[in-house]
A and B are shown apart, each in its own frame.
Chain A
Amino acid sequence: MTDSTEISTGGPTPEGRTPGAVDTGVGTDSRVTSDMFGATFGGDTTGFGGLVRRAPDDTGTPRPYGGWFDEFADALEAVYPSYAEAVKKVVVAHGEITLHVDPARLADVARVMRDDENLRFELLSNLSGVDYPHQAERLHVVYNLTSMTYRRRVRLEVAVTTENPHVASVCNVYPTADFHERECWDMFGVVFDGHPALTRILMPDDWDGHPQRKDYPLGGVPVEYKGAQIPPPDERRAYA
């Protein structure tokens, strides 16, 4: 999914087929498939096989982003002097904008976005983690900010390694981040520097490991159903 090489998930892959049939909104998405069932040759007439999955391109979306995204980015650049260093790249896809931010400066960016009158992101709607084990900075934390004034939503994303999983806490900017950051610590092992009491929240206090990481097993036992052994979900056949 995030390897640097192209992955073919079975079936013949004709040369010269142009990928990018998928509409990713404005600009280019970092991960593009050829299309959903795009077998144009070969024996698989259903088209279910033969999917070409492309590695993400890490370049981000160039300007102009389209819609209000440019207006927003201009406003943030104008009011936040270290924009160029803090924002590593901007991705516009599926009609949403994502700013990839330096983990150490995240809280600063969030504060500016909350306070500036042209931005006014009053509400931290959501904070959650995603684990991309094939990346060096595999632990991502995404922040969905909502501007109630302008009716806009923006996503901030930071990426850290498991060896140094430190992200600046936004609890001082958005007190609502308290539970969210505890959950993200609990599930992914991301350490939020500056959180008042970063303890587990969903799992028991003495739990080992961080269950939502991709290398943490789902667990489960085989069950018998009408005489047949059904393996647990993580051992069943998976179609990539």
Chain B
Amino acid sequence: MTITDPYAAAARETTEGRVYTVTGGDWDTITPGDEEERLVINMGPQHPSTHGVLRLVLELEGETVTQARTVIGYLHTGIEKNLEYRNWTQGVTFVTRMDYLSNAFNETVYCLGVEKLLGIEVPERATTIRVLMMELQRIASHLVWLATGGMELGALTAMTNGFRERELVLDVLETITGQRMNPAYIRPGGVAQDLPPGAVEKILDLLEVMRDRLPTYDDLLTGSPIWQRRLQGVAHLDLQGCLALGVTGPILRSAGLAWDMRKTEPYCGYENYEFDVPTETTADAWGRYRVRMAEMWESLKIIDQALDKLEPGPVMVQDRKIGWPAQLALGPDGLGNSLDHVKKIMGTSMEALIHHFKLVTEGFRVPAGQVYVAIENPRGELGAHVVSDGGTRPYRVHVRDPGFVNLQSASAMCEGSLIADAIAAVASIDPVMGGVDR
């Protein structure tokens, strides 16, 4: 038996002409050189510079990209389908894993959708904690963008520094939620538990550190001629292109439009916070860098104000038919239901026990209907189209991930540029494949 390696084939005839499949070597030794040549490069999905399991198919003429296509789906996990087989509260643990760099946003947008269908108001403190979580997450996400984007462009110090500071943010998130990532902390009706003792102090410490560290990125990168030349005038996409391609977030704002849903369609009480929407007019990778750097400062401002707004109060709706009955406490085997709560429902209140049991096994019912809610995540408009048939499980949830939509602009940004600038273009889009593929 002979084993044939398809990649070893030297040449084959196709309707497009003769195709040579090569994995390396000197081009001149492979083709006779007497025909019109097109070079198609397959880049990824396993490539350190494609920002995750993204595959780029690039058609080259010399070093110039003439056509670029993005191929996605390598991280498709069927989250939307899986949601339909879990109850509404369990849904949070699924959506949080979509865009894994902005968990708090996924959880919030899903919960806002469920709450809109339920017609309930979340307690003030829970909303403030959500804002707090989202803005902390925005900083962490932009830091990862800086780190990975910097790495892809050869700025390794940006990578090490970015991940270092991001870990500080994740430490705070871990203090609050118990997990660095995918915490499922924000639930329909509020949040899973109140801020633990010491959390506010940790956040304040973090703010101080970040105010100290953010200028060092400017010192390191903004003035660097290499960094400037890699970004300035690269991956240009003007406002018209952004709108046609549905691009939102920092890319849109780098083209000059101050469209930030925290300002334009405020949710979670953002209208009560004072902050600016940074914009640039260069419409290139440089502008996106500047916008994201400035946004981290604005997030610090919002966190500061959110801490001031934190008034004591409940963090979950008081309706016992909806509010998840968990009274979490840290035990010797980790975070779980508090023993006092278990003692109470087991020993003194049969009704509470029944409620607890029913809510956990069966879940609450959500009135039938459909809603679309959208919030501003670090990459743009994160939307959730939530459909209920009146049952205990989501009938259909579709998440409009900004990474998925924004990735369409890669072709427009790359075509006509050098292949090295294609890397900068994809980095400036900042797609997170978990969200793109869902």
A interface residues with partner B (beta carbon < 8 Å): 1-2, 9, 22-24, 29-33, 36-37, 45-48, 51, 53, 56, 93-96, 98, 122-126, 128-131, 142, 144, 146, 148, 151, 153, 155, 174-180, 183, 200-204, 211-212, 218, 233-234, 236, 238-240
- Closest Cβ of chain A: how far from B321's Cβ, in Å? 5
A94 to B372, CA, bound (A): 10
Other-chain residue from B364, B369, B387 in contact with A36 (beta carbon distance below 8 A): B364
Given A144-B372, A175-B244, 13 more pairs with CB closer than 8 A: A1-B390, A22-B119, A30-B368, A33-B368, A124-B246, A128-B400, A129-B398, A155-B370, A179-B405, A202-B438, A211-B81, A218-B84, A240-B392
Complex A-B, nearest 4 residue pairs according to Cβ-Cβ distance, in ascending order? A176-B246, A31-B368, A1-B389, A128-B398
List residues of chain B with CB within 8 A of the CB of A239. 87, 361-363, 391-392
| In the assembled complex, B339 has its CB within 8 A of some CB on chain A | no
Other-chain residue from B368, B369, B390, B404 in contact with A179 (beta carbon distance below 8 A): B404
- Closest Cβ of chain A: how far from B136's Cβ, in Å? 26
| In the assembled complex, B365 has its CB within 8 A of some CB on chain A | yes
List residues of chain B with CB within 8 A of the CB of A29. 367-369
Are B371 and A130 neighbours in the complex by a CB distance under 8 Å? no
Looking at chain A's contact residues, the main secondary structure is loop
| In the assembled complex, B385 has its CB within 8 A of some CB on chain A | yes
| In the assembled complex, B78 has its CB within 8 A of some CB on chain A | yes
List residues of chain A with CB within 8 A of the CB of B396. 130-131, 212
Are B385 and A144 neighbours in the complex by a CB distance under 8 Å? yes
A155 to B373, CA, bound (A): 12
Chain A's closest residue to B77 (CB) is A202
- Closest Cβ of chain B: how far from A101's Cβ, in Å? 15
Are A22 and B367 neighbours in the complex by a CB distance under 8 Å? yes
Are B385 and A128 neighbours in the complex by a CB distance under 8 Å? yes
Chain B's closest residue to A177 (CB) is B246
Other-chain residue from A33, A126, A203 in contact with B385 (beta carbon distance below 8 A): A126
Contact of A33 with B244 at beta-carbon distance under 8 Å, contacts A94-B117, A128-B400, A153-B372 already known: no
A179 to B247, CA, bound (A): 12
List residues of chain A with CB within 8 A of the CB of B387. 130
- Closest Cβ of chain A: how far from B140's Cβ, in Å? 25
Are B389 and A31 neighbours in the complex by a CB distance under 8 Å? yes
A218 to B80, CA, bound (A): 11
Are A94 and B116 neighbours in the complex by a CB distance under 8 Å? yes
| In the assembled complex, B374 has its CB within 8 A of some CB on chain A | yes
Are B264 and A151 neighbours in the complex by a CB distance under 8 Å? yes
- Closest Cβ of chain B: how far from A102's Cβ, in Å? 20
List residues of chain B with CB within 8 A of the CB of A37. 321, 364-365
List residues of chain B with CB within 8 A of the CB of A98. 370
Are A201 and B73 neighbours in the complex by a CB distance under 8 Å? yes
- Closest Cβ of chain B: how far from A36's Cβ, in Å? 5
A148 to B85, CA, bound (A): 36
Contact of A233 with B85 at beta-carbon distance under 8 Å, contacts A36-B321, A240-B391 already known: yes
Give residues of chain B (52-94) contacting chain A, Cβ–Cβ below 8 Å. 72-73, 76, 78, 80-82, 84-87
Are B400 and A174 neighbours in the complex by a CB distance under 8 Å? no
Other-chain residue from A32, A33, A174, A204 in contact with B73 (beta carbon distance below 8 A): A204
Among the 9-residue stretches B95-103, B200-208, B351-359, the one with 4 or more Cβ atoms under 8 Å from chain A is B351-359
Are B85 and A123 neighbours in the complex by a CB distance under 8 Å? no
List residues of chain A with CB within 8 A of the CB of B322. 36
Are B78 and A211 neighbours in the complex by a CB distance under 8 Å? yes
* Cross-chain pairs A/B with CB under 8 angstroms, 26 sampled: A1-B368, A1-B395, A9-B391, A23-B119, A29-B368, A30-B369, A31-B369, A32-B367, A33-B368, A36-B321, A37-B321, A46-B351, A46-B358, A48-B358, A94-B117, A125-B374, A128-B400, A146-B374, A148-B257, A175-B408, A176-B244, A176-B245, A218-B82, A238-B392, A239-B361, A239-B391
Are B391 and A1 neighbours in the complex by a CB distance under 8 Å? yes
List residues of chain B with CB within 8 A of the CB of A31. 367-369, 389-390
- Closest Cβ of chain B: how far from A61's Cβ, in Å? 12
- Closest Cβ of chain A: how far from B371's Cβ, in Å? 5
Contact of A148 with B116 at beta-carbon distance under 8 Å, contacts A93-B369, A203-B76 already known: no
Contact of A212 with B369 at beta-carbon distance under 8 Å, contacts A1-B389, A179-B405 already known: no
List residues of chain B with CB within 8 A of the CB of A238. 85, 392-393
Are B73 and A178 neighbours in the complex by a CB distance under 8 Å? no
Are B259 and A234 neighbours in the complex by a CB distance under 8 Å? no
Chain A's closest residue to B358 (CB) is A48
Are A125 and B363 neighbours in the complex by a CB distance under 8 Å? no
List residues of chain A with CB within 8 A of the CB of B3. none
Contact of A24 with B358 at beta-carbon distance under 8 Å, contacts A1-B390, A51-B390, A125-B381 already known: no
- Closest Cβ of chain B: how far from A28's Cβ, in Å? 11
List residues of chain B with CB within 8 A of the CB of A122. 243
Chain B's closest residue to A155 (CB) is B372
A177 to B404, CA, bound (A): 11
| In the assembled complex, B188 has its CB within 8 A of some CB on chain A | no
List residues of chain B with CB within 8 A of the CB of A202. 72-73, 76, 437-438
List residues of chain A with CB within 8 A of the CB of B391. 1, 9, 53, 239-240
List residues of chain A with CB within 8 A of the CB of B385. 126, 128, 142, 144
List residues of chain B with CB within 8 A of the CB of A233. 82, 85-86
- Closest Cβ of chain A: how far from B55's Cβ, in Å? 12
Chain A's closest residue to B243 (CB) is A122
A200 to B381, CA, bound (A): 24
| In the assembled complex, B340 has its CB within 8 A of some CB on chain A | no
A46 to B365, CA, bound (A): 13
| In the assembled complex, B426 has its CB within 8 A of some CB on chain A | no
Interface string of B326-343 (1 = CB under 8 A from A): 000000000000000000
